[in-house]
């Protein structure tokens, strides 16, 4: 009887322990989830604080991703300096931003500086004008760029120079003009919108991909050199974005491509990409890949299995060439 009684007590005790454990699991998981949510909210608040009242320069702000970046950084309380070639479109954007009101967020009126990024002398003058707006720059977002479509055999070398001038030498010239003031203040953030094609190369994009590879290399070097001066550097590598980039692309003879590619039409929403840029800048991330599963996989294949990648690209080149001939 004693043995049976002890056995029953142990069984009852085990049952109560399991019930207690079962009741505690949801409580523990719920508490962990609540703590995680609070942490994310605190992080988001801290990151937004990095943007509030910051002087943010955005090139290529009149359309596409640049325009969406202007919207999200303005909503975060940044003091914007909108840059581009088309003053009328920049003024229209500035007016649109001015009409956006948020009782919970302090908003600033955007400034405008117009210049041609391919003209390095104009870039130097523009940098002086930019610095006069608020006396300094906290965040420089090099976004402006041009794309290219064409075969290497039929592409004039001047087209390569044109694409490099806008996509590489332009951002480099502007960055180096703004950089000394950041170093002097021991504070600042330089960001550049590169491309997944700065990490991998695909057929019929030679000039564009080359300019983005150069961009990746330059800003990687800049990051290492600027860390000791307190200046952060971020490189963003998005995949296809639903903008007019392919429509405005240049071809091998320098003429406008004028076609909205299917991959571009089905690309990421620029507003979503802009939000990702805002978050990453707030977190001062160094290298951000903003591409879908296939382009991301391609980056890893190029790194880990280069021979396979080369075969895949050769096959793609043949397939696209046949499609053009048909």
Residue 223: exposure state from Cβ atoms within 10 A (0-12, 13-18, ≥19): middle
**Looking at per-residue confidence, does 238 or 2 come out higher?**
238
At 235 the three-state DSSP class reads: strand
Whether the CA torsion 170, 124, 235, 89 is positive or negative: it is: negative
Longest Cα–Cα distance in the chain:
101
- Beta-bridge mates of residue 140: 57, 190
DSSP letters of 51-78?
Answer: HTT-EEEESSTTSHHHHHHHHHHHHTT-
CA dist., res. 99 & res. 170, Å (int): 32
139, 56 contact by CB (below 8 A): yes
Give the pLDDT confidence score for residue 282 in this predicted structure: 96
DSSP letters of 123-175?
Answer: HHHHHHHHHHHHSS-SEEEE-----B---GGG--HHHHHHHHIIIIIHHHHHH
Query: What is the average pLDDT score of the chain?
Result: 90
Cβ neighbours of residue 65 under 8 Å, at least 6 residues apart? 143, 193, 238, 241, 243, 270, 273, 274, 277
Superfamily covering domain 55-291: NAD(P)-binding Rossmann-like Domain (3.40.50.720)
Q: What is the DSSP letter of 34?
A: H
Q: What is the DSSP letter of 109?
A: P
Task: Give the residue among 145, 156, 143 at the shortest CA–CA distance from 69.
Answer: 143
Q: What are 93-124's pLDDT values in tens digits?
A: 999 999 886 656 678 999 999 999 999 899 99
Give the pLDDT confidence score for residue 324 in this predicted structure: 79
CA dist., res. 258 & res. 275, Å (int): 28
Q: Taking the mean position of all CA atoms in its chain, how far away is CA 210?
A: 18
CA dist., res. 263 & res. 295, Å (int): 12
142, 171 contact by CB (below 8 A): yes
HEC readout, 110-125: CEEEECCCCCHHHHHH
**Looking at per-residue confidence, does 35 or 164 come out higher?**
164
What's the token pair of residue 39?
A: 């942490």
**At what angle are helices 64-75 and 270-282 packed, to 10 degrees?**
50
At 258 the three-state DSSP class reads: coil
Give the helix ranges, DSSP H, for 186-285: 206-226, 262-265, 270-282
Considering the chain, tell me which residue range(s) the CATH 3.40.50.720 domain(s) occupy: 55-291
Give the pLDDT confidence score for residue 50 in this predicted structure: 81
pTM of the model: 0.84
Q: What share of the chain is helix, strand, coil (3-state, %, to 5)?
A: 60, 15, 25
What's the rounded mean pLDDT across residues 202-222? 98
The residues assigned a catalytic role are: 208
Give the pLDDT confidence score for residue 323 in this predicted structure: 84
Residue 25 pLDDT exceeds 90? no
Residue 148 φ/ψ, nearest 5 degrees: -150, 145
Give the pLDDT confidence score for residue 2 in this predicted structure: 46
């Amino acid at each position: 009887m004693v043995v049976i009684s002890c056995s029953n007590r142990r069984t009852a005790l085990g049952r109560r322990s399991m019930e207690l454990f079962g009741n505690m699991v949801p409580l523990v998981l719920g508490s962990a989830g609540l703590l995680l949510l609070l942490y994310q909210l605190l992080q988001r608040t801290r990151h937004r604080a990095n943007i509030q009242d910051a002087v943010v320069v955005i090139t290529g702000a009149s359309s596409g991703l640049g325009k969406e970046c202007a919207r999200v950084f303005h909503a975060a309380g940044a003091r914007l300096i909108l840059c581009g070639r088309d003053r009328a479109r920049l003024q229209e954007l500035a007016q649109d931003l001015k009409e956006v009101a948020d009782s919970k967020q302090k908003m600033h009126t955007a400034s405008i500086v117009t210049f041609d990024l391919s003209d390095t002398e104009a870039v130097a003058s523009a940098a002086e004008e930019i610095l006069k707006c608020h006396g300094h720059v906290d965040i420089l977002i090099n976004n402006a760029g041009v794309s290219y479509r064409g075969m290497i055999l039929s592409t004039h070398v001047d087209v390569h120079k044109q694409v490099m001038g806008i996509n590489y030498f332009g951002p480099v010239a502007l960055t180096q003009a703004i950089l000394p003031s950041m170093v002097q203040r021991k504070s600042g953030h330089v960001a550049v919108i590169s491309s997944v094609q700065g990490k991998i190369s695909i057929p019929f994009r030679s000039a564009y991909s080359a300019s983005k590879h150069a961009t990746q290399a330059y800003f990687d070097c800049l990051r290492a050199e600027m860390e000791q001066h307190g200046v952060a550097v971020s490189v963003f590598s998005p995949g296809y974005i639903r903008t007019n980039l392919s429509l405005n692309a240049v071809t091998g003879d320098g003429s406008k491509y004028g076609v909205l590619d299917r991959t571009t039409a089905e690309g990421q929403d620029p507003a979503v990409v802009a939000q990702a840029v805002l978050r990453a800048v707030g977190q001062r991330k160094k290298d951000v890949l903003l591409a879908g599963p296939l382009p991301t996989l391609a980056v890893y294949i190029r790194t880990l299995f280069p021979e396979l990648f080369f075969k895949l690209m050769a096959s793609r080149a043949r397939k696209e060439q046949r499609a053009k001939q048909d």
